[in-house]
């Protein structure tokens, strides 16, 4: 079957992360739970690492157990993340933009999916000047559920008129990306090693292949 769409995760896959997400998590926890943070810092940081790729608001709700605290933490997360991205700049993973251009030339649609909210994603896309390079971007809130659920992939496919999940390649840096690709029924779940999780974790989560970075994706199409 002809590939009609490649769906890329953002942070750690096409956007350089360099620990910015995890540092924003730490600031958010400290802000939302100042009393508990000092004693839970190791445990919560590990949880944030393990669940990387999932909806941030979902992760905060799971960990803090309360919608209100989760909302406050998510707000602090987004503020910290955007402040850091503004300070150091948003930089693409080497080769990401070239891949976007090559896919476009071949008539293959480009979707971005993420664990960020729409507000954060829009800032990233604007800073990188990617709006003309990509065909669609979907956030967890818009799709229904975030990863590991396949909702964002389903919505991107529906909105772009993709004929079948078997015409879709999914590319991401976390176990949650691979799980979402699998339950969607994607042709390929491609893990990249530029982000949160290692090759073994990605394979255990169902990666059909693992490559060093998004720059190698073209060779799999
Ligand atoms: Mg990621």
What is the DSSP track for 28-39? HHHHH-TTTHHH
Q: Which residues form the domain of 134?
A: 5-16+90-220
Q: Which of these three, 68, 88, 108, is where a domain ends?
A: 88
Q: To which H or E segment does residue 171 belong?
A: strand 168-172
Query: 196 C-alpha to center of ligand 1: Å?
Result: 7
Beta-bridge partners for 211: 192
DSSP H or E stretch at residue 45 = helix 37-50
pLDDT at 165: 98
Whether the CA torsion 30, 32, 38, 44 is positive or negative: it is: negative
Query: Dihedral of CA 78/85/25/197: which sign?
Result: positive
| Structure confidence by residue, pLDDT tens digits, 9-67 | 999 999 998 889 999 999 999 998 899 999 999 999 999 999 999 988 889 999 988 88
At residue 83 the predicted structure's pLDDT band, cuts being 50, 70 and 90, is very high
Q: How many folded domains does the chain comprise?
A: 2
Which CATH number belongs to the domain containing residue 180 in this structure?
3.40.50.1000
Listed residues 58, 88, 118: the one ending a domain: 88
How many Å lie between the centroid of ligand 1 and the Cα of residue 185?
A: 20
Distance 126 CA to ligand 1 centre (A): 18
Average pLDDT over residues 111-132: 94
Ligand 1 centroid, distance to 192 Cα (angstroms): 9
Do 139 and 129 fall into the same domain? yes
CB atoms within 10 A of CB 22: 14
- For residue 49, count other CB atoms closer than 10 A to its CB: 14
39 CA → ligand 1 middle, Å: 27
- How is residue 92 annotated by DSSP? B
| Shared-domain flag, residues 75 and 152 | no
Please report the pLDDT score of residue 61 as a whole number: 92
Residue 187 shares a structural domain with residue 107 = yes
Q: What is the mean pLDDT of the chain?
A: 95
Q: What separation in Å is there between the alpha carbon of 66 and the centre of ligand 1?
A: 25
Quote the tokens at residue 32: 């939302």
| Residue 36 alpha carbon to ligand 1 centre in Å | 27
Q: What are phi and psi of 169, to 5 degrees?
A: -110, 135
> Do 51 and 138 belong together in one domain?
no
Are residues 194 and 172 in contact, defined by beta-carbon separation less than 8 angstroms?
Answer: no
What's the gap in Å between 173 CA and the centre of ligand 1? Answer: 5
pTM attached to this predicted model: 0.94
* Beta-sheet strand order (sheet of 168-172): 136-138, 109-113, 5-9, 168-172, 188-192, 209-211
| C-alpha 56 to ligand 1 mean position (Å) | 11
Tokens of 84: 């850091």
CA 57 / ligand 1 centre spacing (Å): 15
- Measured CA to CA, the distance from residue 196 to residue 4 in angstroms comes to 27
The residue whose two tokens read 């071949």 is 106
Ligand 1: centre distance to CA 176 (Å)? 9
25 & 121 share domain: no
Which of 33, 59, 88 represents a domain boundary (last residue)?
Answer: 88
Are residues 49 and 103 located together in one domain of the fold? no
């Amino acid at each position: 079957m002809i590939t009609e769409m490649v769906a890329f995760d953002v942070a750690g896959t096409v956007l350089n992360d360099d620990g910015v997400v995890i540092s924003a998590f730490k600031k958010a926890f400290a802000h939302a739970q100042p009393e508990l943070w000092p004693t839970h810092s190791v445990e919560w940081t590990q949880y944030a690492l393990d669940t990387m790729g999932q909806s941030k608001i979902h992760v905060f709700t799971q960990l803090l157990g309360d919608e209100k605290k989760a909302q406050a933490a998510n707000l602090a997360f987004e503020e910290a993340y955007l402040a850091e991205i503004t300070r150091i700049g948003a930089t693409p993973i080497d080769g990401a933009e070239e891949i976007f251009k090559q896919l476009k030339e071949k008539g293959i649609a480009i979707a971005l999916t993420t664990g960020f909210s729409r507000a954060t994603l829009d800032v990233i896309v604007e800073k990188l000047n990617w709006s003309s390079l990509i065909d669609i971007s979907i956030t967890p809130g818009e799709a229904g559920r975030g990863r590991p659920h396949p909702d964002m992939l389903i919505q991107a496919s529906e909105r772009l008129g993709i004929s079948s999940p078997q015409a879709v390649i999914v590319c991401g840096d976390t176990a949650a990306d691979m799980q979402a690709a699998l339950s969607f029924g994607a042709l390929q779940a491609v893990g990249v090693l530029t982000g949160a999780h290692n090759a073994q974790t990605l394979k255990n989560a169902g990666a059909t292949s693992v490559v060093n970075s998004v720059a190698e994706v073209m060779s799999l199409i």
